[in-house]
Chains A and B, each alone.
Chain A
Amino acid sequence: MIALLEEYMPVEVLLVEDSPGDVRLTRDAFRETNESIRLHVAVDGVEAMDFLKKRGAFASSPRPDFILLDLNIPKMDGREVLAQIKKDNDLKTIPTIILTTSDSEADIKKSYELQANCYLNKPVQLEDFESVVKSINDFWTTKVKLPQQR
């Protein structure tokens, strides 16, 4: 029953991504692999924080189960968002996955220092991209134990 409940319960995912193309690709990729994923999108860092803080228009937004965060986003960049999330006692328990085109060593290091839960490169090829998204789902929704916080 609980397993069914769990299967039935939607997975709230916040995608912080400014490229609409990438948003679609990600959404489509998730839909193919796990229909229970409810993808919320913030197009810049400020919006992301507002969502997470349930500010303004996002007052009734759900708390995401995990966050997919691009580093190169406008207004407040992903690194700053990451830092804020992980500083926040309430938010810091939300697994935050960096999904970005940068493979710079500096970015990787910085991210982990800021307590990113993991770091993923957006593959160039479409197939590879879809594969990564699937892997994320696979790992973070079926394998990993997430804290119960509702």
Chain B
Amino acid sequence: MPETSAVQQSEARYRGLLEAAPDAMVVVNQLGEIVLLNVQAEKQFGYSRDELVGQPVTNIIPEGFAERIIADGTRTAAEALEQQIGTGIELNALRKDGTEFPIEIMLSPLESADGILVTAAIRDITRRRESDARYRGLLEAAPDAMVVVNQLGEIVLLNVQAEKQFGYSRDELVGQPVTNIIPEGFAERIIADGTRTAAEALEQQIGTGIELNALRKDGTEFPIEIMLSPLESADGILVTAAIRDITVRRESEARYRGLLEAAPDAMVVVDQAGEIVLLNVQAEKQFGYSRDELVGQAVTNIIPVGFAERIIADGTRTAAEALAQQIGTGIELNALRKDGTEFPIEIMLSPLESADGILVTAAIRDITVRRESEARYRGLLEAAPDAMVVVDQRGEIVLLNVQAEKQFGYRRDELVGQRVTNIIPVGFAERIIADGTRTAAEALAQQIGTGIELNALRKDGTEFPIEIMLSPLESADGILVTAAIRDITVRRESEARYRGLLEAAPDAMVVVDQSGEIVLLNVQAEKQFGYSRDELVGQPVKNIIPEGFEERLIADALRSTEDALAQQIGMGIELYGRRKDGSGFPIELMLSPLASGGGVLVTAAIRDITVRHAADEALRVAHRKSESILNSLNDGLAVFDKNWVYTYVNEQGAKIIGMRVDELMGQNCWDLFPQLEGSKFFENYHRAVDTGKSIHFEDFFPEPFNQWLECHCHPSSEGLSVYFRDVTQAKKTDINLVKKVEELKRSNEELEQFAYIASHDLQEPLRMVASYTQLLSRKYKGKLDSDADEFIAFAVDGATRMQALIKDLLEYSRVGTKGKEFTAISSEDALRQALRNLRGAIEDSETVITHDPLPMVSADEIQLVQLFQNLVGNAIKYQQGKAPQINIAAFKNRSRRWEFSVGDNGLGIEPQYFERIFGMFQRLHKREEFAGTGIGLAICKKIVERHGGSISVQSTLGEGSTFHFDLTAVEGSAA
């Protein structure tokens, strides 16, 4: 019974298993009758169990099954079976509904009480067939040569590419060992051997590209790469090998290796396992290894950290994805040399397809120097006075310095990696980021060097104006932009203030940059030139000042703008301005420099000097007029300032001095003419200035000029003006005159002396004659005859007359020789004295004399007495019948001299004698009528002329005469 239980139990278990099996299971006896089946089989074939148990299996599998398992003459059932065990057999199956479908059966023996049964696992391989078909289709369509190989290494399938590739037709290859075409390296890989199963063997190969050599029909070899993939089939696992002719790739690889070797950078090719596949000589040098020491080694030997991780597939991404992230970017890592020293590197990765999968080519650059530069750069950055911010092409802040921190109120870490728009909202990022119209490099190139004014934003939200100056910075990450950021708040204020001042300035103000373009102008400039501001800003200043301005400030080969400008600062430059309407007008420019973010600007104050020009012109005309007047003066005019420097000399003056105007102007007169020291010029000039009074004088201007100059010097607040005249000629004449006068005087004196001496010496003998004839007369009158009496009488008379003549002559001559100096005397006193002297005659003739109050005169008293005495005496004498009436009057004439008149009622004189009577010894009457020698009036004339006056007579015959003479007045005399 236990045996039966065991068998039953085993059967039960077996049935359980059968039912549970996923596949359709049919158990067939050696007769080919279905003994058992499971539900899957029911479903698969569309029968119910009952309908199949006991039926011949050929009902469901018409052919191919039964025969296999039934004993026949050639073998026993066991033997027959044995041959089938394990193999998947593809057959056709028949459903109840008559439809066919392909199956694959797997047989396995089953011992039972009934003998050996065959269990067939029946798989509906409709899909697989379709797959197979599809697969075949794919196979055919595959670009690569595809060869399907079974576990015996026999070619099961191939496609047309394979035919072409190997030069065989399909038939020649199917069923042949694959080694015909791939001698080595393939079959071994996939065939089960003692160490592993075929499945295991295969698994190791799946997915990897294996490089092998292939053999064509014609015997030529060529390199291939095969990619294996398993293929389940009824025949077991097949291996599909995609075979790629890698001849070209090999060449590429060779070329690549060449490039690799030639590359300046160290190049290392790493596979997805992180092992070094290739390297070049630079890499050997850089890392200090030989090639062999590195190929096949983990790349972490030379790049410990940061590389391998990046490229190896991990749970989160595939190797391809991992790699894709790294491609193109420079990654900074630390590298390790063979000798253990570390050095910083930057790696640039690029993918490389290979039979072994995607490899990674890493260009490795030793960035030790760059690191140092960077460190230095960072140092400079920190030390920079301005805030410096380095931005990448995405507009993110890469670096900044402490100034930037302060300026924006952020900490460094709050800004690095942030968008620069956080601190410079507008105007910066746009400028440097590549957009559709240009590359980042081009974008940047446009910005380099120019100061750009923008608004910046502090952490606290306040805005402030900045000026940024950009410069490019190459880095492993591409071109970075360094921005020097200057807070121009103050400058803005200054600018605002400046603009305010500019607008408020009375003059037109124009600010021009170094290229001659107008940057700023004020409203005055608008008015002056007739433009609106917009029409001028940005325009060349030549538009309004055609010539003379731009040239002055533009740097040229000879000087920098600063130098050019320095030459112009401060000077008023006269030029012409042009209005919008085309009219021109004279202007004066005053330039001053103005430092700005954009370089040195020039501020020009522009003044319309039309009026001034007109005024200047008028002044010039007036000046010319006065010049011509001054030059037409006959006199010389020299004007000195307080330092005795000639500030003006007219032409006449220069001519007189005998030098040119320009030789005199600006010179100190005493330096020019040292010989004038101590002269009257020196004395009088100084006196005039000191006293403030004009002085008129003459002096001799010594060597080399030898001139007499008559000068009128007039002091003024500025100095001294001197009108002068060359009077040398006149002086000579004067001198001549003086000499002549001297001679005349001497001659006169001699004559007078002569007259005096003559008359004096004549007196003596005359006295004898006169005296003794009188004695004769006294003694012998009446005692001799009448003739004697008469003779004596004539002699006496003659002598007497001679005495009178001599006396008068003496008196006449004495007027000059005995003349005394003039003093201030009362002419009235002189008259009275004269009248006293004439007392006898006056009384005898009963003359009535009247007179005006008579003035003080400058005269010789004795001679004045004599003068009055003679005139009054004449008036008394030359009378007939009437009692003489004489009046003496005096008045001050136009020349401020006293004119005296002595008027009488006497005989009068005929006009033709008016002159003659003043001659010597001129008598108009007979001796018998009137006594006198006729010298009286001559004496009067001489006296009057000696006194600087002249004498004349007015007379009417029969009525009287009036004698007129003039004398020098004395100050303080009565009018």
* Chain A interface residues (CB < 8 Å from chain B): 19, 21-22, 25, 101-102, 122, 124-127, 129
Contacts and interface: CB of A to CB of B under 8 A. Distances in A.
18 contacts: A19-B764, A21-B772, A101-B760, A101-B763, A101-B764, A101-B767, A102-B760, A124-B763, A124-B766, A124-B803, A124-B807, A125-B770, A126-B770, A126-B771, A126-B774, A126-B775, A127-B774, A129-B767
B263 interface: no
B771 A19 contact: no
Contacts of A125: 770, 803
A91 B771 CA distance: 33
Contacts of B767: 21-22, 101, 122, 124, 129
A84 B901 CA distance: 54
Interface of B: 760, 763-764, 766-768, 770-772, 774-775, 803, 807
User: Which of B760, B767, B768, B803 gathers most chain A CB within 10 Å?
Assistant: B767
A78 B612 CA distance: 95
Contact of A129 (B764, B771, B803): B771
A8 to B, nearest CB: 30
A22 B767 CA distance: 9
A122 B772 CA distance: 15
Given A101-B763, A124-B803, A126-B774, 8 more contacts: A19-B764, A21-B772, A22-B767, A22-B768, A25-B771, A102-B760, A124-B763, A124-B767
A126 B769 CA distance: 10
A19 B768 contact: yes
Contacts of B775: 25, 126
Contacts of B807: 124
B316 to A, nearest CB: 159
A21 B765 CA distance: 9
Given A101-B760, A124-B763, A21 B774 contact: no
B452 to A, nearest CB: 118
Contacts of A102: 760
A43 B141 CA distance: 197
B570 to A, nearest CB: 85
A102 B807 CA distance: 13
Nearest to A122: B767
User: Which of A19, A101, A124, A127 gathers most chain B CB within 10 Å?
Assistant: A124
Nearest to B810: A103
Contacts of B768: 19, 21-22
B947 to A, nearest CB: 21
A102 B818 CA distance: 13
A115 B771 CA distance: 31
A102 B763 CA distance: 10
Contacts of B770: 124-126
A19 B764 CA distance: 9
Nearest to A127: B774
Nearest to B766: A124
B912 to A, nearest CB: 36
A138 B803 CA distance: 28
B696 to A, nearest CB: 40
Give the 9 A-B residue pairs with the shortest CB-CB distance, closest first: A21-B768, A126-B771, A126-B774, A124-B803, A124-B767, A101-B763, A25-B771, A101-B764, A124-B763
Contacts of A101: 760, 763-764, 767
B760 A21 contact: no
A127 B778 CA distance: 11
A126 B776 CA distance: 12
B712 to A, nearest CB: 45
A103 to B, nearest CB: 9
User: Which of B760, B766, B768, B771 gathers most chain A CB within 10 Å?
Assistant: B771
A21 B770 CA distance: 11
A101 B763 CA distance: 8
Contacts of A129: 767, 771
Nearest to A21: B768
Nearest to B775: A126
Contacts of A126: 770-771, 774-775
Contacts of A21: 767-768, 771-772
Contacts of B803: 124-125
A78 B321 CA distance: 169
Contacts of B766: 124
Contacts of B760: 101-102
A122 to B, nearest CB: 7
A22 B764 CA distance: 9
A120 to B, nearest CB: 14
A137 to B, nearest CB: 18
A129 B778 CA distance: 15
Contacts of A25: 771, 775
A22 B775 CA distance: 13
A43 B766 CA distance: 20
User: Which of A19, A21, A122 gathers most chain B CB within 10 Å?
Assistant: A21
Contacts of B774: 126-127
A100 B666 CA distance: 75
A124 B772 CA distance: 12
Nearest to B778: A126
A21 B768 CA distance: 6
Nearest to B777: A126
A139 B764 CA distance: 26
A21 B774 CA distance: 13
A11 B768 CA distance: 27
Contacts of B763: 101, 124
A25 B764 CA distance: 13
A22 B765 CA distance: 10
B448 to A, nearest CB: 120
A101 B766 CA distance: 12
A137 B764 CA distance: 23
A75 B414 CA distance: 148
A19 B761 CA distance: 13
Nearest to B807: A124
A125 B806 CA distance: 13
A129 B772 CA distance: 12
A101 B767 CA distance: 10
Nearest to B770: A126
A96 B764 CA distance: 22
A22 B770 CA distance: 12
A47 B764 CA distance: 22
A25 B760 CA distance: 20
Contacts of A122: 767
A13 B803 CA distance: 30
A86 B189 CA distance: 191
A19 B760 CA distance: 15
A14 B798 CA distance: 33
A65 to B, nearest CB: 26
A70 to B, nearest CB: 10
A101 B774 CA distance: 19
B517 to A, nearest CB: 107
Nearest to B774: A126
Nearest to B806: A124
A102 B756 CA distance: 11
Nearest to B796: A126
Contacts of A124: 763, 766-767, 770, 803, 807
A22 B768 CA distance: 7
B774 to A, nearest CB: 5
A39 to B, nearest CB: 17
Nearest to B772: A21
A32 to B, nearest CB: 12
A103 B766 CA distance: 17
A129 B803 CA distance: 14
Contacts of A127: 774
A129 B763 CA distance: 13
A43 to B, nearest CB: 15
Nearest to B763: A101
A124 B808 CA distance: 13
A124 B804 CA distance: 10
A125 B804 CA distance: 10
Nearest to B804: A124
Contacts of B772: 21
Nearest to B773: A126
A145 B499 CA distance: 126
